[in-house]
Structure 1
């Protein structure tokens, strides 16, 4: 049975274009996979704690299996989020680009799930050089993103200013998820017709992809 985890990262509700497009994709995907399991995780309109000193101390406690109860409590949500991610082979992230990057709620989620010993590990080679091991190899991800302006995609005039989906590619790739598709809609804050064409094109791509994802 296929299992998909959908992460919604926009702080907006029904006005969110990334959410709307994600739901188009998910509706078609569920129709094509009626026996599949879909789990939604809200990080845009829910409070995902940012990394704190207590989190760091608990995360890097030298004997993970002997953490004090207080430290276990500090990592409880992170453990839940990691387990959730591990338990699904398909990942969908819907996210707007805010000020050239991702919203803080999604960044907090990333910081909660990139965990040494759980989603990645570190070993030393014979020369004492750190070698990173990716522990979530084999998963597939889709990033559905909306950008207020235009030209932020590959080859675009402002490609170098896009630190949203490239950031996600880097973070997910670090833990082993490198089979990633990005579908973007651009131009919400420019010409209405430009945005409409971009939105229609993205929706068509998502409907097609959903049938085989």
Structure 2
């Protein structure tokens, strides 16, 4: 008999964690090994439990999925991260997938669909259903990198050094970000990015 698929649920809403655990309890081949409410808890639990799959909300109190996915993969290299969100069109989805998440599952999925998605991830290493919406995400992964450094107070020259790009290339990326987020200056691009859930 094959061992059960081990799942870690990461979401800052207790009712979501409990609801998902309840749904997964109906699948004899899936076992929830832990819950986490934020990125720090998730990283620690991932290192401790080494789950097969992490169900990860896109936004947590202390981290965005795009930042957290690499940390989880370092903590447990064999673990696969499946995004779990009520907003598949969320702007942070594409950067999170670029960071190494293996797919996206919408929170209104049935218990059967939830189990099937987790099995797909274990069997194939990915879950393809639901990814089309992320194609409309406004920023490319590199544009997202530039945005995060802008929000941290870095100059274009500093960003160029950090990302090993020319200052002119950084300027072009930043202009693209400002155009996509309808911003006229750095302060406004940060404000609008936060409104879109990118920061």
Q: What TM-score does the superposition give when structure 2 sets the normalisation length?
A: 0.41
- Structure with higher strand content: 1
- Structure with higher helix content: 2
Q: What TM-score does the superposition give when structure 1 sets the normalisation length?
A: 0.39
